[in-house]
């Protein structure tokens, strides 16, 4: 996993922690790693606990709760392949997407400020990323109820065009984080 430092736009490698899709979790008893064969146990709290296939605890489990799993099924982003438009994106585009992942709904001037890029550049990137389906425009009437980053005041602006990350944008960002290390 990688993280952006918004100040200098340097990619910093973080730990190689295993990131699973939502509602999957690694069992603590046997801590499987990607070279292990795995089996899922559907727990009573609606999680699929991922065990090594030879974990002793599975012998006690109700067979009806066991699920065949492979790492490709459960790793976040592992089975996703972006379209050809992925290769049009540069490091600043990913920084913009990352900004929306971190802060949610925002508008071009704020993004320009946060990433220290020219306003016009932020406007154009927002438009282009929206046309690519990586960002979506958000209705101002929703935004006006959001508490602002600035001085902790309620945002009342209606003049700005607000953007937020789409599922496609999240997937592209995730893919970038996995494959650019
Ligand atoms: Zn186990």
Ligand 1 geometric centre to CA of 34 (Å): 14
- Pairing between strand 38-42 and 66-68? antiparallel
Two structure tokens written together for 38: 């795995």
Ligand 1 geometric centre to CA of 61 (Å): 10
Give the phi and the psi of residue 49 in degrees, each rounded to 5: -85, 125
Ligand 1 geometric centre to CA of 55 (Å): 5
SS3 12: strand
Contact criterion met (CB below 8 Å) for 113 and 99: no
What's the pLDDT score for residue 7? 39
Ligand 1 geometric centre to CA of 78 (Å): 23
Task: Give the distance from CA 76 to its chain's centroid.
Answer: 9
Ligand 1 geometric centre to CA of 59 (Å): 10
Per-residue tens of pLDDT for the chain, all 181 residues: 444 433 334 443 434 567 788 889 999 999 998 889 999 999 888 889 999 999 999 998 888 899 999 887 888 765 678 889 999 999 999 999 999 999 998 999 999 999 999 999 999 999 999 999 999 998 765 555 555 555 666 555 556 788 999 989 999 998 898 877 5
Q: Per the confidence metrics, is the pTM higher than 0.85?
A: no
What is the C-alpha end-to-end distance of the chain, expressed in Å? 8
Ligand 1 geometric centre to CA of 26 (Å): 8
Two structure tokens written together for 101: 């992942």
What's the pLDDT score for residue 152? 62
Ligand 1 geometric centre to CA of 35 (Å): 15
What's the pLDDT score for residue 17? 65
Domains in the chain, ordered, with CATH? 24-74 (no CATH), 84-179 (1.10.10.10)
């Amino acid at each position: 996993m990688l993280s952006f430092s918004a100040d200098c736009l340097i990619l910093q490698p973080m730990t190689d922690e295993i990131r699973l899709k939502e509602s999957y979790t690694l069992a603590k008893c046997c801590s499987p790693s990607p070279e292990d064969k795995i089996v899922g146990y559907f727990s009573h709290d609606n999680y699929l606990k991922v065990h090594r296939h030879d974990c002793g605890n599975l012998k006690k489990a109700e067979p009806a709760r066991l699920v065949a799993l492979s790492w490709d099924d459960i790793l976040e982003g592992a089975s996703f392949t972006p379209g050809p438009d992925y290769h049009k994106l540069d490091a600043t585009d990913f920084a913009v997407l990352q900004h929306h992942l971190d802060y949610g709904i925002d508008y071009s001037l704020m993004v320009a400020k946060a990433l220290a890029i020219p306003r016009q550049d932020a406007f154009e990137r927002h438009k282009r990323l929206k046309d690519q389906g990586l960002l979506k425009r958000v209705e101002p009437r929703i935004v006006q109820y959001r508490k602002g980053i600035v001085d902790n005041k309620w945002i009342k602006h209606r003049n700005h065009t607000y953007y937020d990350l789409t599922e496609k944008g999240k997937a592209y960002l995730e893919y970038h984080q996995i494959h650019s290390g």
